[in-house]
Structure 1
């Protein structure tokens, strides 16, 4: 895919819109100003965006500045993309940072004076927040990049596929951290270090609960419910209810229904039903053969989630839940079933088999859930 102004603007606008959309979900829970927890670039009504593409190094720089009006610009350049701020080419050899083939680079509140701040090579991905440069021309002019994303072409195309999830995770991290600590996220602060340690401990706990075969289904359910980080970054759900009671108003089910979780998807903007089964359930029979098929455990999970989904087709039952929990669930909400663990050898068959189910039914294995949460934690650990 060729890098163009249209592609960069599409990514930038979607990123900005999702940051604002994800933040707005928390307005009812946070009675403070955006400046107290979000990066400066995202505290205006919109943002001014400048972007550059280095054709020879294949690097992309996208800079967001605080603004109440949307503006976008794009320029193709040659060489080190940071050198766009040295139009007179007065920076001579060397750089404050040489970044080569590195992902998850995070630099915050840094000042560079009298030198090229960074020289970028190879496959890279980074976020520069409040990144200040003292330029050689006009002499000693200070320029601060409020919030900048830098990608190699490879990393950019990967993020382009899941651009809204990428933005949502960034926004939710700032909001979650503020709710937890009452502070704006600053990696050097003591509370930020405690926060990172807690996230790393969560990795250890997830591995124990998901892969040791020592816990009952209800214990795993309770563990996930007590750790909203798993729900938010593993399942991609923001606001959620655990063990919601679905009252059997018409006595069709002979009992009230109780799905493990019901949560709001901020990307697709609807509620999802979630149910957990055991991580060691076998998911594929005859893997690697033409007779490969899903096991009855997935079939049963599909049937159970369909029952929960059908419950909301009834107007009276849907209204009961919406009024009781003060939410707005539509007819036939989609669902996620978390079950089993898939090995590398089974992955291809598993991916093919789950495509045969209807779009409302998403199957996620515990190794996928674990990886999604760990990917988020790894990004937080890299913020410097």
Structure 2
């Protein structure tokens, strides 16, 4: 007997929900180890996660799943099938694949009641079903980053009567505009961009998904392996990969590729130089003595870090060729052009506007 699609989705939905909720619990444990409380930043139903009431509706005629999270007396998962839902059909006309609805950030901060609804097309659901940890991480990061940064924004806002989500989003867009001008001005010094990223760390948190940022740490040359002390621009913690990441920035006005459209297309020498510099930083933590000294000084234990190099800009029409060249680079390394970093930050802002309804 062949199971109908709607029934099959019911089985998958239960497995997805259980894995998704378990991932949030695990991330909560990981964040607590870093002394970061994430639950107050999430929509209210998730704050008592063991009493979540989850109701999934599959709307057959539009092939969508609507997953609603609310507070209940115990943990429950329900699944129902509907042929039509005029209200939801009209809502989904404007969205493609996935849409989130949650309480406003002001309600989150004041601990008011807020539900959480996820709308997923069949294709989007199957993608999330395969990667529940990544989906949980996406939801946590957006809410937690907005919660912490918005709270800081509240403290610094001069007109307390006009603090709301719109003013905060506007502030983020202003930061993005300034960053765009800096990276597209051929005369911007490297140190100017360094200082701007340090002063506006929300770009790095939102675009690179890093926490516990430590700027300009000194890696002391205790064992005399290097010509001098090392000083990476940034060290941060990737909560998804559960690993520390070393980041270094170079000039934004560099071209990344040479011999474009020729037989020996490759990365330019400046990129190789950045890779070599990052390797020194990564290799530094191979030594037990270095790790102990860094932990004593900065209160974190860094083992087997990965690295991100941010350099230059890349035209969109060269992205396929650039990705081909990256296959030859070591697994511990990511190379990110500045315009990619900017686009990732814009995506972060846009996802915040989805999550944080007026």
* Bin of the TM-score, shorter chain as denominator length: 0.7 to 0.9
- The CA deviation at 1:129 is 3.0
- Shift in CA distance, 27/252, structure 1 to aligned 2, threshold 3 Å: closer
Contact 2:218 2:230 in 1 (8 A): yes
- Shift in CA distance, 313/11, structure 1 to aligned 2, threshold 3 Å: same
Bigger RCO (CA 8 Å, 6+ sep): 2
Contact 1:61 1:149 in 2 (8 A): yes
1:168 alignment partner, one of 140, 159, 174: 140
Task: Specify the alignment match of 1:271 in structure 2.
Answer: 244
Contact 1:19 1:167 in 2 (8 A): no
What are the within-5 Å matches in structure 2 for residues 364-375 of structure 1?
364-375=336-347
Identify the structure with the greater strand proportion.
1
Task: Specify the alignment match of 2:165 in structure 1.
Answer: 192
2:264 alignment partner, one of 280, 291, 299: 291
User: How far apart, CA to CA, are the structure 2 residues paired with 1:252 and 1:16?
Assistant: 46
* Residue 296 of structure 2 corresponds to residue 323 of structure 1: yes
1:102 alignment partner, one of 70, 73, 94: 94
What are the within-5 Å matches in structure 2 for residues 16-165 of structure 1?
16-20=21-25, 25=31, 34-35=39-40, 37-46=41-50, 47-66=52-71, 70-80=75-85, 95=87, 98-103=90-95, 123=96, 125-129=98-102, 146-156=115-125, 162-165=134-137
Q: Deviations over 1:71-109 (max 9, x none)?
A: 4343444323xxxxxxxxxxxxx7599324324xxxxxx
SS of aligned partner of 1:102: coil
TM-score (norm 1): 0.76
Contact 2:234 2:246 in 1 (8 A): yes
- Shift in CA distance, 148/8, structure 1 to aligned 2, threshold 3 Å: same
Contact 1:45 1:67 in 2 (8 A): no
- Shift in CA distance, 154/202, structure 1 to aligned 2, threshold 3 Å: farther
User: How far apart, CA to CA, are the structure 1 residues paired with 2:20 and 2:162?
Assistant: 27
Per mean C-alpha deviation after superposition, the further-off stretch among 188-197 and 167-176 is 188-197
- Shift in CA distance, 66/249, structure 1 to aligned 2, threshold 3 Å: farther
- The CA deviation at 1:221 is 1.0
- The CA deviation at 1:266 is 0.8
- The CA deviation at 1:180 is 4.1
Contact 1:275 1:305 in 2 (8 A): yes
Q: Deviations over 1:100-143 (max 9, x none)?
A: 4324xxxxxxxxxxxxxxxxxxx353223369xxxxxxxxxxxx
User: How far apart, CA to CA, are the structure 1 residues paired with 2:73 and 2:338?
Assistant: 43
- The CA deviation at 1:223 is 0.7
Contact 1:20 1:42 in 2 (8 A): no
Unaligned runs of 5+ in 1: 81-93, 104-122, 132-143, 183-187
User: How far apart, CA to CA, are the structure 2 residues paired with 1:226 and 1:163?
Assistant: 29
* Residue 218 of structure 2 corresponds to residue 245 of structure 1: yes
User: How far apart, CA to CA, are the structure 2 residues paired with 1:361 and 1:178?
Assistant: 33
Identify the structure with the greater helix proportion.
2
Task: Specify the alignment match of 2:107 in structure 1.
Answer: none
Q: Deviations over 1:238-290 (max 9, x none)?
A: 11100011111112213211000000001111110001111221112233444
SS of aligned partner of 2:54: strand
- The CA deviation at 1:224 is 0.7
Task: Specify the alignment match of 1:108 in structure 2.
Answer: none
Q: CA RMSD of the aligned region, Å?
A: 3.2
Unaligned runs of 5+ in 2: 105-112, 156-160
1:223 alignment partner, one of 167, 192, 196: 196
Q: Deviations over 1:22-81 (max 9, x none)?
A: 5552687678x945x43111111433322232233111111222358644343444323x
Contact 1:305 1:335 in 2 (8 A): yes
User: How far apart, CA to CA, are the structure 2 residues paired with 1:96 and 1:64?
Assistant: 16
Contact 2:14 2:77 in 1 (8 A): yes
Task: Specify the alignment match of 2:110 in structure 1.
Answer: none
Task: Specify the alignment match of 2:315 in structure 1.
Answer: 343
User: How far apart, CA to CA, are the structure 2 residues paired with 1:289 and 1:194?
Assistant: 49
Contact 1:19 1:171 in 2 (8 A): no
- Shift in CA distance, 253/178, structure 1 to aligned 2, threshold 3 Å: same
User: How far apart, CA to CA, are the structure 1 residues paired with 2:13 and 2:262?
Assistant: 43
